Amino acid sequence: MASMPTPRRRLIAHLDMDAFYASVELLRYPDLRGQAVVIGGGRDRQPVRQADGTLRYATLREYAGRGVITTCTYEARALGVHSGMGVMKAARLAPDAVLLPVDFDEYRLYSRRFKEAVRCLTPLIEDRGIDEIYIDLTDLPGAQDDAGRATARALKDAVFEATGLRCSIGVSPNKLLSKIGSDLDKPDGLTLLGAADIPTRIWPLAARKVNGIGPKAAARLEGIGIHTIGDVAAADPDFLVAEFGPSYGAWLHAAAHGRDDRPIVTHSEPKSISRETTFERDLHAVRDRTTLSESFTRLCERLAGDLQRKGYATQTVGIKLRYDDFRIVTRDVTLPAAIGDATSIRRAAGSCLKRVDLSRRLRLLGVRAGTLTRLNHGIACTDPSGTTTGPTIDAATTRTPPSVDQVELPFDDGPGEMSA
């Protein structure tokens, strides 16, 4: 009687680029390799070419403002600096660290390159952001022979060849463990995890290392004496349900034991696309009208570019404001037809601005596009230059919108509560 075939093990990889933004910058400025480098704080701190041909870089000790660190090199992290930290606080920890401005266009370029390199080996990837993806290795030739080690190594080599950048990969039976694994041996790590590794490699980690246990949940767990993933695993499931509710409590118990059956999602439609900027100082609608108007225009143009690049038009446009007291307000408007050009987005977002209090100073301004529609559904989209892209409709029903500069700015109305 023929023997039954051995069941195929599920092999899921999580690929995470190492210090992605900082690593891209080091390609541009290789003389900074091995140094503490911080990315963030504003756009006006480009390196300056000196008379002798060398570059002069800004340092944290020269910074004045309230910017936030986007990312940093591992050398900066060794000094206590980390992403999300205020730049002024980082300056006290590492005053001589080099400060570079963010360049998202360059980061998106390298993001596309590393993902294309992976797709050359397998199309079964789930895009999780600019610097990370999940990959299903289960049915790739040879992956079952060594739990995915050689395949993961090939992926790392392909990414490096395409970008010059290093990445870390975790491979396990599911997305939850692989996400944790990719962070265990950074940088340039390759970590394989199985059920037998959970007590030794997973349970000693802090509970917040589980993707899905955020700062608030971690604080609540700390408050009841649960500090590590192992503590969560050892807790009575009924106790977790009583503390966190039936859904999240049951998930905590399963996650701590490494159970996760989520599939790889190779395609999903975004619910919204947004752009926002945090000002280095609080801005007033009248006294800083020019700066706010320019920022508002730039956000709308970039949002329009995002929509065109991704192939969408929007029927809902919204704004987001954060005041100097950290209070956040949002407003949106639903349009009779989908749009995609910067001028129309700016006009719609401007109508939202007229419905909020502009008497307080602003820390943050954002513009959002929702109710997205793919352009291949028969919607024409016009870019800021007036060029129609995507499928066209009857020319008799279309018109070229005015230039962005011809649209009246909501900030020109002055401060105070504005009527729609």
Please identify every residue annotated as catalytic.
Answer: 132
Angle at 111 between CA 209 and CA 34, to 5 degrees: 70
Q: Give dist(CA 354, CA 3) in Å, integer.
A: 73
Reported in sequence order, the residue ranges of 124-271 that DSSP labels E, i.e. its strands, are 125-127, 132-136, 167-172, 190-192
User: Please, where are the H alpha helices in 208-341?
Assistant: 215-223, 229-234, 237-244, 246-256, 289-310
Parallel, antiparallel or unpaired: strands 167-172 and 312-323: unpaired
| Cα-based torsion angle of the residue sequence 143, 149, 151, 153 in order, rounded to the nearest 10 degrees | 180
The SS3 call for residue 338 is strand
Between CA 236 and CA 113 the distance in angstroms is 46
Query: β-pairing, 312-323 with 37-40?
Result: unpaired
Question: Distance (Å, rounded) from C-alpha 253 to C-alpha 72?
Answer: 34
Six token digits for residue 265: 């999602």
Of 379, 390, 296, 374, nearest in space to 342 by CA: 296
Long-range pairs for 399-403: beta carbons < 8 A, 24 or more residues apart: 401/341, 401/343, 401/344, 402/343, 403/343
User: What is d(CA 122, CA 240) in angstroms, rounded to the nearest whole number?
Assistant: 39
Q: Phi and psi (nearest 5°) for 107?
A: -65, -40
Which tokens sit at 309? 């690049």
Q: How far is CA 53 from CA 28, 47, 50, 206, in A?
A: 15, 12, 5, 48
Report helix, strand or coil for 175: helix
Q: Which of 191, 163, 166 is nearest to 177 (CA)?
A: 191
Alpha-carbon distance of 337 to 317, in angstroms, equals: 11
Taking the C-alpha atoms of 360, 361, 363 and 364 in order, what is their torsion angle to the nearest 10 degrees?
Answer: 60
H or E stretch including 318? strand 312-323
